[in-house]
Structure 1
Amino acid sequence: MIPNQPIGASELIITDKGCIYHLDVHPDEIAPTIITVGDPGRVATVSKYFDRIETKKAHREFVTHTGYIGNKRLSVVSTGIGPDNIDITLNELDALVNIDFNTRLAKEEHTSLEIVRMGTSGALQADIPVDTLVVSTFGIGLDNLLHYYNYEENAEVSFIRNAFVQHTALENAAIKPYMAEASIHLVNKFPAREGYVHGITVTCPGFYAPQGRQLRLAPAFPNLIDALSGFTSGQHRITNFEMETSAIYGLGKLLGHQCLSISTIVANRQNKTFSNDGAASVENLIKTSLELLVQ
């Protein structure tokens, strides 16, 4: 963390209405528990389960609804796709609760948010069928976002990441993976007995070649799917990949927040299958996970 001095107007951009720049949300309009979704249209799919909604905001791809389920206050925020959008979302959510917008100073008392991603993903194991719900115990990033921050892994994470690097040989192609863990407190809310599969999630910086797909351009790593699916470290294996989890976990750890990513599997890349009803799969993810989150 940097020394506590006023943050300049070009660094912390506050609108004339007192809102953070991209999210366009006022500090009073964000809840302690936040659900993130990629698709702006999915925000209402989550908030329809709220007993009441007190705030609705929309700016670019960032849509925010804040309300209550019972006595629990929640926000649902759309991030858009990819680690770059997570950089914006996580930093601005943190600023809303941990920076005084009047003095532009970091608050003396730190607020730790609960941030739960609910999204779609592709399975990398043949025994994980489409429409399965997966909890990401760790996120491995193939993007470069965390390399712009002073991020340090703990011993367990470093051990697994080093084994992953050796197994995949991705660093030979100047890809430097990083790794971060989920909040154990939140992981335990979504146990296997409730139908959730636990495993490592790989975060990719794109949808096509970065996830081993080929249209008119041949991927530089044609064996990427097999390399990822074949990795194990002790009891850990890679279950799926998507485009946000590792960035959420890494920034969340640096900023002192509790983070979790839950995915519904809409494609199995080993079996080459796709969900017959992706909307129903997402609906099941949201409904089932909300019930456990608010308990």
Structure 2
Amino acid sequence: MSNGHTFIQADFPMYEGTKVPHLRIAEGDVAPYVLLPGDPGRVELISQLFDQYEIVGSNREFKVGTGEYNGKSVSVCSTGIGGSSTEIAVLELLKLKAKCLLRIGGTGAIQEGIDCGDLIINTGSVRIGGTSHHYARPEYPAVANHYVVQALIEACEELGYRYHLGIGATTSSFYHGQGRDLTGSNYSSGIIEEMQSLGVLNLEMESETLLTLASVMGAYAGTLLVVHANRATNQWLVDYEESQMKLCRAALHAIDKLIHRGVVKL
């Protein structure tokens, strides 16, 4: 304490000696398996699918819940929107010994034949978001763990959910970075056409950060998304709550498979 102020180390500050600075939770509050929605509201929404559930942390855009699903401990942590807040959530969760992180969120499809309400399992992500460039050179791939991908495929098929499998793209901008021109001068004009020509299925804002960090840090990660919009058909789904619950059910079903198979090294 100096001049009436209290200080802790700035390199990696820990509140009360044990709590990470942004999630404001400690080791033991979070399970090895964590679902990552963007919206803090979905941390509350998914609670109805758990046998037991408790909110263990809430600070800024980060809300964390931990509970039991089929007798096993699973956590849910919101990341907010974009790569920079996702970076914070992922690194602090890994600091607290999380081992398997699964992004669950909305996405915009860019290919015809993908309907609003469908699920997308991204096997990897085109790294045009920017945040992950602080951790690996641009040529380093942002790929999902193959065990996680397989569990997601099986979960969707067993639940009878229509899904699409392939590469997505992560941007750092919702408007111009995804081809929505609001100023008349758009450096990213043509981004949708470029990604469509490469066979990319969808655009979103978080997966490259998660997948790159997980690979670099030796964790398991994957991405399961529900289609809220299709830019190829210019449709935006307004009432997407039912689709969100479908997404959550499939994600928990996949996590249950991973837990019982023991493929994640804890």
TM-score range, shorter chain: 0.7 to 0.9
TM-score (norm 1): 0.78
The equivalent position to 1:222 in structure 2, one of 182, 186, 189, is: 189
Corresponding residue for residue 202 of structure 2: 240
**SS state at 1:220 partner:** coil
Return the letter of the residue paired with 1:63.
K
* Structure 2 unaligned residues grouped into runs of 5+: 1-7, 258-266
**2:93 counterpart residue number:** 93
CA shift in 2, pair 1:28/1:277, >3 Å: same
* 1-structure distance, mates of 2:74, 2:229: 29
2:143 partner letter: E
**C-alpha displacement at 1:152, in angstroms?**
6.0
Question: How far apart are residue 95 of structure 1 and its match?
Answer: 1.1
Cα distance in 1 for partners of 2:78, 2:188 equals 31
Give the distance between the partners of 1:230 and 1:68, measured in 2 at CA: 43
Q: Distance in 2 between matches of 1:52 and 1:31?
A: 13
Q: Percent identity?
A: 28
AA at the equivalent of 2:106: T
Following TM superposition, by how much is the alpha carbon of 1:221 offset from its aligned partner in structure 2, in angstroms? 2.9
In the TM superposition, structure 1's runs of 4+ consecutive aligned residues that sit over 3 Å from their partners are none
User: What is the Cα deviation at residue 30 of structure 1?
Assistant: 0.6
Residue 259 of structure 1: aligned partner: 221
2:5 maps to none
Tell me how many residue pairs correspond in the alignment: 245
Task: State the alpha-carbon separation in 2 of the partners of residues 294 and 74 from structure 1.
Answer: 9
String of CA shifts for 1:127-174, please: whole Å, max 9, x gaps.
Answer: 11111100010011212222222x268xxxx5xxxxxxxxxxxxxxxx
Normalising by the residue count of structure 2, what TM-score does the alignment of the two structures yield?
0.87
- Cα distance in 2 between the residues matched to 1:53 and 1:221: 43
CA deviations on 1:225-264 (whole Å, 9 max, x unpaired) are: 1111111xxxxx3110100001100011111110011110
Please state whether the residue corresponding to 2:74 is helix, strand or coil. strand
Kept after mapping to 1: 8 A contact 2:56/2:66: yes
1:204 partnered with 2:171? yes
1:213 aligns with 2:180: yes
Match of 1:180 among 137, 142, 145: 142
User: Residue 272 of structure 1 is aligned with which of 231, 234, 238?
Assistant: 234
1:138 aligns with 124
Q: For 1:218, give the aligned amino acid.
A: S
Partner of 1:128: 114
Contact 2:178 2:188 (8 Å CA) reproduced: no
